[in-house]
Chain A
Amino acid sequence: MPGAAAETDELAREVAEAESGPQLEDKRTGRSPGQIAWHRLKQDKVAIVCTMVVLFFVLVAIFAPLLTSLQAVDPVTGAKADPGTIHTELVDLNGFPKQGITSAHWLGVEKGIGRDLFARWVYGARPSLVIGFVAAALSTIIGVTMGLLAGYLGGVVDRIISWVIDFFLSLPFLLIVIAATPIIELRFGARGTLTAEQTSNIRFWLIIALLVLFGWMGLARLVRGEVVSLREREFVQAARAIGVPTRHILFKEILPNLVGPIIVSASIAVPAYITAEATLSFLGAGLVEPTASWGRTIADAQNSFQSYPLWLWPPVIGISALVLALSLLGDSIRDAFDPTTRR
């Protein structure tokens, strides 16, 4: 086992240090709690497998054009497939594809308008991942800032921020998003004046904004609670007695002690946001054509599941695998940061 060997090495070095006495310069540096967590994570098999799965999807999203171009030239259309091009010549009069899996269409073509499903699938990974990670990053930043301010400054600031948190938590998320999306869309131009691409683009950022707007409160509450208890700890008092400026105390003294909960919260938020995006797209309040989205594809495909299951399965498997991997990874990260789990 490589881990055991490394430990033996470390032990041997410690013994050597002890024997050679204090005159030997001690270059060994201590390990921070973050380093310990990282070390634990590297030994967690589930975490490694999940990281690989997530990495697979990230690579699929990045190299989507390349992967699509790997498909052969279609003998009927005489061109390589891409996610947007409509090929009505590939479907029959009832809308059903004339062919199944071919070298030109690895996952067949869409029912009705004959777009290439493999291209739709690899491009569909893009909005999921981008929305998931961007929304998680933004809501983490907002949540941490709000929590720090409320917890450390206390008083009126705390009361206002806590009230806002309670207010947002009490709003019905799904209802508001479904109702607000078309209304906000109208702000950018009257119905019919926007191109499909523009609408899709607006929807994309709107989803991120709404997910962040309704997603920062949990972390803000968590951070606020932690800060309230850390604020009274003696090392914060010591920093104040030394004359360390407040901004410094917040970000250099208190924030490093919150790295664990923040990373855990962010890693749990990513799969939640990916699911939320797929759900909204499925319900019609999320991404719209022509952007490829797994949630949209599922919504379109579910009506024909009995007659054409191949349409539905790839996005379902994609979402399930990605969210499962991210969730398990989040659990592993939480375990790695938890001082009470010993492995």
Chain B
Amino acid sequence: MSDKTLLEVTDLVRYFPFREIQGLRMVKASVRAVDGISFSVQEGQTLGLVGESGCGKSTTSRLVTRLDTPTSGKIVFEGRDITTLKESQLRDIRRDIQMIFQDPYSSLNPRHTIGSILTTPLKVHGLHKGREKQRVKELLELVGLNPEHINRYPSEFSGGQRQRIGIARALAVEPKLIIADEPVSALDVSIQAQVMNLLAKLRDELGLAFIFVAHDLGVVRHFCDQVAVMYLGKIVEYGDKRNIYERPEHPYTQALLSAAPDINVARGVPPRERIRLVGDVPSPIDPPSGCRFRTRCWKAQELCATEEPPLVESTNAHLPIQGRENGLHLQACHFPEIKPALVAEVPA
């Protein structure tokens, strides 16, 4: 794993403007899906993007793959600014950045055979000319499917198998970065593990970098090097996996972590403290002033409503945990605090 930066995202913003008629007036408003986020991915590294529905994770992944164009901000891939490139200029980028989709039932065209689905990317980029079929069989084998199923239609496969086909399609163009948008959330738990293992195996074998989007911290835990927690279009905590899991400082991260089911309870260990968030996620059309989490935060004070907490380096970042050196740890809360009760029972 090298330290070369593959993807650098700076102050990424995506508003979806719309018009609404209020009374007699036409009011222009916008959904602030992504509101100024920055992160970077190193070669061969995996970043986990975590947050609940509607926090802008999927929009972020669509922006990075340039299926959508950001309102402002900068996306730099391998030193090249791809923020505003036109479709015709994106050809190389389309080869280097691929996407794995959430729903294996809608991500494969029901009218095409597996062979045709996997040959399309090869043909579009002119790869393996003349031996496409051979290559498709190799890809199927790579993701653990029977290469003889090449002439079958997606409807003949289970959800897990379809997701493997989706993975094979993403791998067909030999990308450097794969954005996986909740690739296992539509699958059975037993199949989830298989697919996660496959992704981990492929990442190690092919040296791929990943952005892994998920809505719970549990799935991300064993797969990612770094984790960014999003809330309402903003990153609230961002850092190395160990920092996020072992000493989260932002109350939202703590709440997310405490929501994960605790297997130790079954073994007789008293249940750890659980944080129950009240209320709904505020509307991204009109987010709360100051800190966006304040409406649901138990620590909220006056300061939180007036001043937006910046994403800054954690004050505890210099403290080594268990003798190891710490990596990156950024958080955006006015009152960061490590809750020992929360993390005590969570082994790394």
> Residues of A with Cβ closer than 8 Å to B?
22, 25-34, 233-235, 237-246, 248, 252-253, 256-257, 259
Contact = CB atoms under 8 A, between A and B. Distances in A.
A243 B90 contact: yes
Given A30-B113, A241-B67, A242-B121, A235 B156 contact: no
A149 to B, nearest CB: 17
Nearest to A246: B87
A242 B108 CA distance: 13
B267 to A, nearest CB: 40
Interface stretch (B27-35, B145-153, B221-229): B145-153
Nearest to B97: A241
Interface of B: 62, 65, 67, 87, 90-91, 94-95, 97-99, 101-103, 106-113, 120-121, 124-125, 146, 148-149, 151-153, 155-156, 166, 169, 173
Given A33-B111, A243-B125, A256-B109, A238 B99 contact: yes
A33 B121 CA distance: 23
A19 B97 CA distance: 43
B67 A237 contact: yes
Contacts of A235: 106-109
A301 to B, nearest CB: 49
Nearest to A238: B107
Contacts of A245: 124
Contact of A242 (B106, B124, B153, B155): B124
A284 to B, nearest CB: 46
Contacts of A22: 146
Contacts of B146: 22, 26
B109 A241 contact: no
Nearest to A240: B67
A238 B152 contact: no
Given A241-B65, A243-B94, A234 B107 contact: yes
A257 B109 CA distance: 8
Nearest to A256: B111
A231 to B, nearest CB: 12
Given A32-B113, A240-B67, A241-B67, 4 more contacts: A30-B155, A235-B109, A237-B67, A242-B120
A240 B69 CA distance: 13
Contacts of B121: 242
A241 B98 contact: yes
Contact of B153 (A26, A30, A237, A248): A30
B152 A243 contact: no
B112 A256 contact: yes
A238 B169 contact: yes
A36 B129 CA distance: 33
A242 B109 contact: no
A82 B322 CA distance: 105
23 contacts: A25-B148, A28-B151, A29-B152, A30-B113, A234-B101, A235-B108, A235-B109, A237-B62, A237-B67, A237-B101, A238-B101, A239-B109, A241-B94, A241-B98, A241-B99, A242-B98, A242-B120, A242-B173, A243-B91, A253-B109, A253-B112, A257-B109, A259-B111
Contacts of A32: 111, 113, 153
A243 B87 CA distance: 8
Contacts of A239: 109, 120
